[in-house]
Structure formats: structure tokens, C-alpha cells
Structure 1
Amino acid sequence: MSSELSRVLRDLMQPGAGVLMPGCANALAARVIEACGYKATFVTGAGIANTFLGVPDVGLVSLSELVDHVWAIRDAVSIPIIVDADTGFGNAVNVHRVIRMLERAGANSIMLEDQVFPKRCGHFEGKSVIPRAEMVQKIKAAVDARTDEALMILARTDARASHGLEDAIERANLYREAGADILFVEAPLNREELAAVTAQAPGIHICNMVIGGKTPVLPSQELGAMGYAAVVYANAALQAALAGMKKVLTSLQEKGSVEGLEDAIVSFQDRQRFVDHDRFQALERRYVAAAE
């Protein structure tokens, strides 16, 4: 199934398509994204760090932890998944292994970034990037490592913050020439910079709408018109979930109940639908009841 979904993703990722792609940090979020009708999801490294470890996005998630999350998400949904692999957990040799592991876990596209390890969230201060030549070798290693040519390598540059937009665009062009299928210039500061990225670095681009981040949050239609293939909201669902948890738990603490907050809490029945409870009941009837 994974190879077929990689081809589906390739068909989706067309310049100007502006496909909305929410991020997920776990299998439950991926199920909700699929149930809401989205065509693909982005496995967010920041989200995994926040939800699984309760820490900021500063490079603390291990490769084995990431692989476990990807496997669970792949098992839960039938839409393509793009996986954030941070800096590739080391040099080009490490990247080769990372691609093999994530491909086997079910990734349909794998993103590598050119930050110095340990990385930081793309909208944090104090980022640094590795030399262009080093990142080019990482991309070449990634391309060579994949066993399915349909799997897409996504190259991200964080050079805008430390080296300026011109350097970031030059890097994007170099990364495309090295074999990257998708390009991602992180954290442009305004509409003009967003438009310049796609105009000056031909190829398939995604952009990341970070609520409260450095890049203006623009409609997907406008970004599609600029040439972006996909518009990622990597942590919108996570931030919404945090807001909901804070609201409900604060009220519970203050009032001793959740009365009046019924609309903020998914029903028990909907909760079971999101985790596919009916399928497991059917399996129980088929196998367990039959043995009694």
C-alpha cells in the first residue's frame, strides 16, 4: 500500500495545487485528519516532541521514537504521509539509514533540513545551517537509499533566518539539482518573500503556516496562485487540542464539573468512531466469540 500511496502523493504535489495538509503528531490525530477529508498529512517532528515527550522542538526525539510513530500512523490511515526527519540524525551515512527505516515504516515522503544538529523549530531564534555541500550530500544519500522511486525526498532550508532569502533560494535550487523532489524554504517573512521562493526556485514547493510564527498565515488559494503545491498546517490541530484541553480542564478545576462545555468535548460515540471501534468489535465477534 505504501508504494501506491507514494504515487498518489506524487500526483497531488503539483505546482499551484495549494493542497491543504494538516500535521499530525500521533495516530489519533491522523485518523481525525483523514476523517475530515484531507488527502494527505504531515507527521510533525515538533508535534511529536511536544505530545510524546512534553518538550520543545529542539532535536530531542530519537530515530527509533520517530519510526514507532510513523509505523502507528501508517497503520491507522490510508492517506499519504510526509514525515519530518529533522536533520537526518547525523551525516549522510546516517541519512541513508534513516530513509530506509522510515520508508519501511510507511513514509511516502521524507523531509530533511539543513540546520545544524541539534535543530530548533523553524520559527525559533538562534538557528544555524550546515554548509551547502554537506546538505547536498545528505540529499544524494537520501535519493540513493530509497528502494521505491515513488517515495519523495523533501529538502528544507532554514537559511532565511541566518543567511537571508537569496541564500535560501540558492540552496533550494542546489537541493533540487541534487535530487530533491520537493522544496521547502522555511519562514519567509511576508507575501513578497513567499512569492519570490516559487518564482526564483522552479519546482514543487510546500509552505508551512505556523500560527503565531514568522510567516504570515495566508489562504491556501492565494498560496496556490503563487505556485505552492501544498500548504502545511503542521501544528494547527495540536494547538487547537491544547486550547480545548486548557479550557475544559480549567473549568473543571474551577467549577467542579464540565457543565456548559458540552460543545467543547467530543461525544463518547464520536470518540469511538475516530478509533474505529466497530472494526474491533467485528473482529471480536468473528474470532473470539467463535472460539467460545
Structure 2
Amino acid sequence: MSTRIHQILEQSGTVVFPGIYDALSAKLAQEAGFELAFVSGFSVAATMLGEPDFGLLTQTEITDAARRICRAVDIPIVVDADTGYGNPLNVYRTVRELIEAGAVGCLLEDQVWPKKCGHMRGKRVVERGEYIEKIRAADEARRGHDFFLIARTDALAVHGIDEAIARVEAARTAGSDASFVEAPTSVELLAEIGRRSPGPNVANMIVGGRTPLKTKEELTELGFQLIVHPVGGLFAATSAIRKVFGELATTGDERGTAAEQVSFTEFTDIVGLEEKYAFAKRFGVE
């Protein structure tokens, strides 16, 4: 089945896209001209709960976040569905809920629940057969819908490269659309994944993460077609907020950081204030 993500890949070859976590970050991604965006579980856990990506985010919370985000923008949204939040029955429900929320794809991984961020220590994975049943359930849940299924494995850190490749190969046979071997720690591993894993392949770029940072061109050459930067926006926003709040707490005045802030008018343009005025006027509301 050809989905919107397949069509983007056919047109662009290699796609770089950002991680988002709420309607505002989604609007900024769309404004920047990205063809799609990714709802990062790491970022939603941080912004919604103030917690690390440690298996604390629930299916309902990620689905609610996805629904708000999908309503706010026109670009296609892929959602981090973690492990599917249970067995294949839970996976089936998760995919159906995400489709109803307006998402056009999800990432499904093979960690033991509760999971951890792929760049954290102490990861464990379920048996390969158990994971493949989840992929089969997700594939059945999305049939007849524009929905792109990414099979992610964390087996590289636990069992090594051969098992990781075997899992994404089995997942593709079971119905997934793309392969994601998480957290390779060297350029050599990236190259081996790009050579052996069935494409399209996902590369996960995190500043300070376990995987070497590479450009779009370098990753394309290594065999990757979907390049996600899941937390760059979150980390930048955190740095900016910390600086503004620190200045305000120290001096009682935020004018010292005014140059780093968007203006009131710029911000209201982003969230569509004038469009709301025009819409309200149609109904006699000033």
C-alpha cells in the first residue's frame, strides 16, 4: 500500500524531519517547511509530565497529544507509539486510536515494557516472535488506512547486529514499511545497518546521544532515507526558557533577553490571531 510517507520518499529520496511535542512546536515545524514531523515520546514525557522517557507515558496521553497536534497542522504526523503499551491486542487498539487521531504513521519498538529511551542504559527486549506478533497486529489494524508502520528494534545493544537485522527483516515480512535499528554507536555500525537492513531505513540523530551525528548527505550515502532529529527543538526551547527565566529571577527584568524572544506580533501570527479575528467577525463577534 502506498501511503503519504511512501509518496514523500518517492519524491524526495531522503527526508529530514523534526521531533515535536505539542501543537505549537508542530506549527513551527510546518512553518519551517518540513514535509512531515514526528511526535517524540521523549519530548512528550518531558513536557507533559516533566519526566524522563522511562515508560511512564501512557497510551492515552500520547494519543491525546497526537490528536491535538494533528488538528493544528496540515503536514503528516508520525507518532512514537513505544511498544504499543501491551500485547498485540493493545497494539491493535493503539494503532486504531492513532489513526482516529489523524496520525499517518507510527513507530513500534521491541523493548520490554516499561521501556527506556534508546540512548539510555539498561534496555531489555522481548523475544523476537513476540515482537513480530505485535507488528502483525499493527499491520492488520492499519489496513485500508493511510498509515506508515516503522519497525524499531533495540536489540543491537542487547543481542548485537545480527539479531537486530533479523528482527527488522522479520518485521518487514510481517508488514512493516520501514526499518529502524536504534542507537548504533559508530559510523561502521551505521554503514552495516544501511547495507544489511531492508530500506527505507531510519536514522535517529540526537546531540549528545550514542549515535554519531551525520549530515543528510552522509546518511543517504550510508543507506538511510528517513532522518529524524527527535529532540533538537525540545533541547533548544529548554535552553532558551532557562536563560530567560534565569535573567528574570536574577534581575527582575527580562529586557536583557528580549532580542532572543519573538515579538508579541510574531507569536500571535504563528498561532493565527488575525485569522481568528476574521473568523469571529463572520459571526458578529468583535
Q: TM-score, normalised by structure 2?
A: 0.96
Contact 1:115–1:129 (CA under 8 A) maintained in structure 2: yes
Contact 2:4–2:104 (CA under 8 A) maintained in structure 1: no
Separation in 1, partners of 2:12, 2:64 = 33
Among 109, 132, 152, the alignment partner of 1:113 is 109
RMSD over aligned Cα, in angstroms? 1.7
Match of 2:195 in 1: 199
Contact 1:92–1:141 (CA under 8 A) maintained in structure 2: yes
Greater CA drift, 195-204 or 231-240:
195-204
Q: Secondary structure at the match of 2:284?
A: helix
Separation in 1, partners of 2:121, 2:47 = 22
Amino acid at match of 1:171: R
Match of 1:172 in 2: 168
5+ residue gaps, structure 2, are none
Correspondence 1:273-284 to 2 at 5 A: 273-284=269-280
Q: Secondary structure at the match of 2:283?
A: helix
Correspondence 1:197-276 to 2 at 5 A: 197-276=193-272
CA shift, 1:263, in A, is 2.3
1:269–1:259 Cα change, 3 Å: same
Q: Which protein has greater RCO, CA pairs closer than 8 Å, 6+ apart?
A: 1
Separation in 1, partners of 2:44, 2:62 = 8
Among 49, 58, 63, the alignment partner of 1:62 is 58
Match of 1:31 in 2: 27
CA shift, 1:104, in A, is 0.7
Separation in 1, partners of 2:91, 2:58 = 13
Amino acid at match of 2:272: D
Residue 151 in structure 1 maps to residue 155 in structure 2: no
Q: Secondary structure at the match of 2:255?
A: coil
Greater CA drift, 109-118 or 142-151:
142-151
Greater CA drift, 191-200 or 119-128:
191-200
CA shift, 1:202, in A, is 2.2
Contact 2:109–2:154 (CA under 8 A) maintained in structure 1: yes
1:15–1:132 Cα change, 3 Å: farther
Contact 2:3–2:148 (CA under 8 A) maintained in structure 1: no
Q: Secondary structure at the match of 1:142?
A: helix
| Equivalent residue pairs, number | 286
5+ residue gaps, structure 1, are none
Separation in 1, partners of 2:237, 2:103 = 25
Match of 2:95 in 1: 99
CA shift, 1:14, in A, is 4.9
Amino acid at match of 1:176: R
Amino acid at match of 1:57: D
Q: Deviation string for 1:123-181 (max 9, x for gaps)?
A: 00000000000010000000011143431111100111111122211211111111110
Residue 122 in structure 1 maps to residue 118 in structure 2: yes
Q: Deviation string for 1:259-290 (max 9, x for gaps)?
A: 23222111111111111112211111111339
Separation in 2, partners of 1:38, 1:172 = 27
Q: Secondary structure at the match of 2:84?
A: coil
Moved over 2 A (4+): 13-18, 147-150
Separation in 2, partners of 1:248, 1:43 = 26
Q: Deviation string for 1:22-60 (max 9, x for gaps)?
A: 000111100000001111000001111000010000111
Greater CA drift, 139-148 or 99-108:
139-148
CA shift, 1:17, in A, is 2.7
Separation in 2, partners of 1:16, 1:266 = 32
Separation in 2, partners of 1:16, 1:286 = 40
Q: Deviation string for 1:47-74 (max 9, x for gaps)?
A: 1100001000011111111111111111
CA shift, 1:13, in A, is 2.8
Greater CA drift, 195-204 or 80-89:
195-204
Amino acid at match of 1:205: N
Separation in 1, partners of 2:21, 2:139 = 25
